[in-house]
């Protein structure tokens, strides 16, 4: 729907100046490989949704590579694939709601069973509390502060704080301000996310963006629940941030077209 050369030129600029890539590119970390496989998977997923059914098998193949490099990103990718399949086949309707609910429960139970067997993890609130308490002791000042999980209100509040800390680390939401000031590039990265990526989406949100934003939320919220320290957060959240960049590129592209139209 757009002039791809101009659109991708903006996307390349946004990606090239994404601050945290300075750390990822200069380190021997699995994040860069996981991001590459996620990018290929996302491309194949979108191609499948838009037109080509044959890309589903290719997406499943790349999905295995995502799992190998970063299992939690693989879980998010499975959910994204399921959502894409439902969207393409027009399964989002009241008639199919019950079937979708059953499928979601089965998928979640299957993922939980596989992860429990591989990593001896049991996803429930008691395990999450003990996991976070142990992590606070392990990571010290970079770990999140101890949280109260005594009731439903605390569950909602804590999840909100965990997501915000994951998205905006190293800003002092669940960590000390002194730790924040010792993380210069991550601090610049959080400012970049707020003003360059999130603000344009909030100002120029359109209905057609909801599919991309749903992908962003899937890759944001689920990993945020299991993140325990700010050094992990600002490296791992890039799997969610990449879904904002095409949206912002499209917004900047349209602003540019609009300004040219006014001048002419």
248, 197 contact by CB (below 8 A): yes
Residue-wise pLDDT tens digits, 179-237: 898 899 999 999 999 999 999 999 888 877 888 899 999 999 999 988 989 988 998 99
Region 64-87: what's the mean pLDDT?
Answer: 87
Residue 256 pLDDT > 60: no
Is a pLDDT exceeding 80 seen at residue 80? yes
In which band, very low, low, confident or very high, does the pLDDT at 169 lie, cut at 50, 70 and 90?
very high
Global confidence as pTM: 0.84
């Amino acid at each position: 729907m757009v002039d791809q050369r101009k659109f991708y030129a903006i996307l390349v600029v946004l990606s090239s100046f994404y601050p945290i890539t300075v750390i990822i590119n200069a380190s021997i970390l699995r994040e860069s490989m996981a991001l590459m496989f996620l990018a290929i998977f996302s491309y194949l997923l979108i191609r499948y949704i838009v037109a080509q059914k044959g890309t589903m098998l290719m997406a499943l193949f790349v999905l295995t590579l995502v799992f190998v490099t970063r299992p939690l990103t693989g879980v998010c990718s499975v959910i994204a694939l399921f959502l894409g399949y439902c969207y393409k086949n027009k399964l989002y309707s009241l008639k199919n709601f019950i079937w979708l609910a059953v499928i979601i429960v089965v998928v979640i139970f299957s993922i939980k069973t596989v992860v429990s067997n591989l990593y001896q993890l049991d996803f429930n609130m008691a395990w999450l509390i003990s996991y976070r308490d142990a992590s606070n002791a392990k990571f010290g000042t970079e770990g999140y502060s101890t949280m109260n999980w005594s009731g439903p209100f605390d569950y909602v509040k804590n999840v909100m704080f965990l997501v915000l800390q994951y998205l905006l680390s190293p800003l002092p939401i669940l960590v000390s301000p002194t730790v924040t000031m010792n993380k210069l590039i991550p601090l610049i990265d959080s400012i970049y996310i707020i003003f360059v990526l999130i603000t344009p989406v909030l100002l120029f949100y359109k209905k057609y963006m909801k599919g991309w934003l749903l992908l962003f939320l899937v890759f944001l919220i689920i990993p945020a629940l299991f993140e325990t320290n700010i050094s992990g957060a600002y490296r791992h959240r890039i799997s969610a941030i990449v879904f904002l960049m095409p949206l912002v590129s499209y917004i900047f592209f349209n602003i540019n077209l609009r300004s040219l139209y006014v001048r002419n």
